[in-house]
Each structure stands twice: as structure tokens, then as C-alpha cells.
Chains A and B, each alone.
Chain A
Amino acid sequence: MNSDKVLDAKGLACPMPIVRTKKSIAELQSGQVLEVHATDKGAKNDLTAWAKSTGHELLSSNEENGVYKFWIRKA
């Protein structure tokens, strides 16, 4: 999936993946897509809940070898 920006949040512990995601998405234009890579096991639920609450769209996510990837479109 295409993205306008990639955020590497691998190795970061809670609450940093969410804090960094928020900062990164603030730098994007509406409609652009942020790709987030994280290794925190809570990231799946955290980013899903965060996107839902802040109005951004979680387009897709997957997990491979312990790395969680997310694609979020800015509202």
C-alpha cells in the first residue's frame, strides 16, 4: 500500500507509538496516508482506538515477524 510518510516506531514502549503517530500525522495534509511500524504488542489495539477517536481512518494493518504495520489516512 502506498503511503506519503513512514513512521518507524519500532522498539518504542507505550505511550510513544501513539505520541509519535500523533506528531507525524499533524505534519501531513488531509487525505495523505501515514504508515506506522511498531513492535509494541499493544499497538494494534492502541492505534485502532486512537484512529477511531481522532477521526482518522485506519485503512489497513498487518503483522509480520513481530512488526505491526498500519496505514492511516488523515481526516
Chain B
Amino acid sequence: MTENNEKTTIVLFSGELDKAIAAFIIANGAAAYDHEVTIFFTFWGLNALRKDEQAVVKKGFLETMFAKMMPRGPNKLGLSKMNFGGMGSKMIKHVMKKHNALSLPELIELAKEQGVKLVACTMTMDLLGLQKEELMEGIEFAGVAAYLGDATDAKVNLFI
């Protein structure tokens, strides 16, 4: 097998279900191409990494409000179009199941299994008041320099 060190990076900025699914499908595809893949989660994209259950952490008022208003985890994300207060999200999940497409939690698991590096942006974690304990296990924490380090060597760099 040819060992190449091709790299792919994706910045997931958006916190919507459809965009997160697109990011993870591309990431899993790139991993199947033997690329070293990094997804860098910043701003609303961080919500895709949140644990379903509420973590016990100390927060200020603003941070608590932010945490309450943002979707907690991949199962809670809404669609970027036609969400209709969550109905759209339910519908697309139903359709995806019908077409045998993997759900977002399954895509995330598969990405981890394939060695995709999931990186949470620490600066925006601070802004949104998200703490390490609230995000899923098996991820890394870094800033823009670490992302650029990966992106500089990569031929595929996407911002979603």
C-alpha cells in the first residue's frame, strides 16, 4: 500500500445539523483516502462536540445562559434551512434512516475510529463559556496556530 501523508482539514464553524453532517462525511471520505484529517471546531460548531447530558461545571450567568440557548450535542442540532422549530431536523433524520445514511453521532464515531483528529478551539470555548468537561471524550484542544500548522501541509482545506 502506498503510504502518503496527504492531509485534509475542515473548519466547522456552523452549528447546524446539515452542515455538520457534510463536514463529517467529507472527513470520513478523506480518512478512507488515507489522509490525515483534522476537523477544527470553532464558534457554533463546538455544539456538535457537546455531551448529551449536562455536565456539572461552575459558570457565570452569561455562560449559563449561552449553554442553555445553544444545542447540546449532535442530537440537538437543527437544520440550516426548513428547520421549523426542530420538525425539519426530525424529518431529515427519518429520511436519512430510510436511505441508510449514517446519523451524525454514527458519523462522529466512525471518524474517531478512522483516526480523524477532532480539535476544539479553546478561544471560542471561552467566549461561549464551554468547558472541557462539557465536550465529548477523545478530542484535542488547540488554537489557530495548531490549525494552520495542519492546514499549511494540507491540499484540502474547507470552511463550513
Contact code string A3-46 (vs B, CB < 8 Å = 1, else 0): 00000000111111011011001100010000000000000000
Contact residues on A (Cβ < 8 Å of other chain), bracket: 20 to 34
Q: Are B2 and A75 in contact (CB under 8 A)?
A: yes
Q: In the complex, what residue of chain B is closest to A20 when comparing beta carbons?
A: B32
Q: Which residues of A contact B102 (CB under 8 A)?
A: 13, 16
What is the total of A-B residue contacts with beta carbons within 8 Å?
44
Q: What is the interface of chain B mostly: helix, strand, loop, or mixed?
A: loop
Q: In the complex, what residue of chain B is closest to A15 when comparing beta carbons?
A: B29
Considering the chains assembled together, what is the distance between the CA atoms of A68 and B155 in angstroms?
A: 30
Q: Which of B2, B34, B101, B114 makes the CB contact (< 8 A) with A13?
A: B101
Q: Which residues of B contact A16 (CB under 8 A)?
A: 102
Q: Which residues of B contact A15 (CB under 8 A)?
A: 25, 28-29, 32
Q: Are A54 and B33 in contact (CB under 8 A)?
A: yes
Q: Which of B1, B2, B32, B101 makes the CB contact (< 8 A) with A19?
A: B32
Q: Which residues of A contact B31 (CB under 8 A)?
A: 19, 22
Q: Which residues of A contact B32 (CB under 8 A)?
A: 15, 18-19, 21-22, 50
Q: Which residues of B contact A14 (CB under 8 A)?
A: 25, 29, 101
Q: Taking beta carbons and an 8 Å cutoff, which residues of A are in contact with B?
A: 11-16, 18-19, 21-22, 25-26, 30, 50, 53-56, 74-75
Which 7 residue pairs spanning A and B have beta carbons closest together?
A55-B2, A13-B101, A22-B32, A15-B29, A18-B32, A19-B32, A15-B28
